[in-house]
Structure formats: C-alpha cells, structure tokens
Amino acid sequence: MFFKKKTRWYKVFETVGEAEERVPFYKTETVKAGNKKICIAHLPDGFFAVGDKCPHNGFSLGKGWCTPEHTVVCPLHRYAFDLKTGRAKTGLADYVNTYPVECRADGLFVGIEELVFTLFGE
C-alpha cells in the first residue's frame, strides 16, 4: 500500500474563448477546482492560477487584479503576489500556492496535486 502524488486536472472553463471572455487581460476571477477555490489571472502571455485566499487576511484574490509584472494584487490591503512563484512582493504575508494551467481544445484546465492511494505502488 502506497500513497503517491498525482496531478489531477480540473476543467474550470468549457472553452478557452469563454475563459478569455470572463477573465479579460489584467483581471482575475475565482473558480472551483475540486474542493479548492482558485484565482485565475489573465495576462497577454497566458493564464495563471494561484490559491484564491489571500494569506494576509483571507480576502479573495479573484476580486483583485493582475499587473504586467506577473503580480496578482489583493484589493483589500493591496498585498501583491508573484503569479509564477506565489511569493509575496509586498507586505508581510508569505506566499500563495501556484497551480499549472493548460489551454486545451476542450477547455481551460487547472492541475491540483493530490495524494493517491495505490495497492502496488504503480
């Protein structure tokens, strides 16, 4: 019996076009991926995904915005986090989790790493 980490992909928008419409450049939006709330950010070089809950005081990063410097900004006290590393750019809050995003023919997907139980370690 083993547990191993595996990335599970969740469709968060039915098409990439829907994602582009609902999350224009430099905007953010909260979506559900499994049981997690995820903040999707859209920049000219693509979509990014981070945990939605601001580590400073729990506000939704999906209600904020993002900048050309690959930063998502929380609207409540304006703490900023790097969309690629999750590290805080300002303030004392430490980091947000980052998640991979894939644009596929059948939608926009976010990958969440999960522990999976296997009998034979496959």
Q: Considering the complex, what minimum distance in angstroms separates the CB of residue 68 from ligand FES?
A: 20
Letter string b/e over residues 30-41, b meaning 16 or more CB atoms within 10 A of that residue's CB = ebebeebebbbb
**Residues interacting with ligand FES, by CB under 6 A?**
54, 56-57, 59, 74, 76-77, 79
- Are 72 and 39 a contacting pair, CB within 8 Å? yes
Q: Which is nearer to ligand FES, 47 or 79 (CB)?
A: 79
SS3 label, residue 116: strand
Give min distance, CB of 2 to ligand FES, in A: 38
Collapse the DSSP code of 79 into the 3-class scheme (helix H, G, I; strand E, B; otherwise coil) and give the result. coil
Question: Please, which residue, 61 or 108, has the CB nearer to ligand FES?
Answer: 61
- The distance of closest approach from Cβ of residue 52 to ligand FES in the complex, given in angstroms and rounded to an integer, is 11
The neighbouring-strand residues paired with 101 are 110
In the bound state with ligand FES, the residue whose beta carbon lies nearer, of 41 and 74, is 74
CB of 111 to ligand FES, least distance (A): 25
Indicate the residue among 19 and 61 with the shorter CB distance to ligand FES: 61
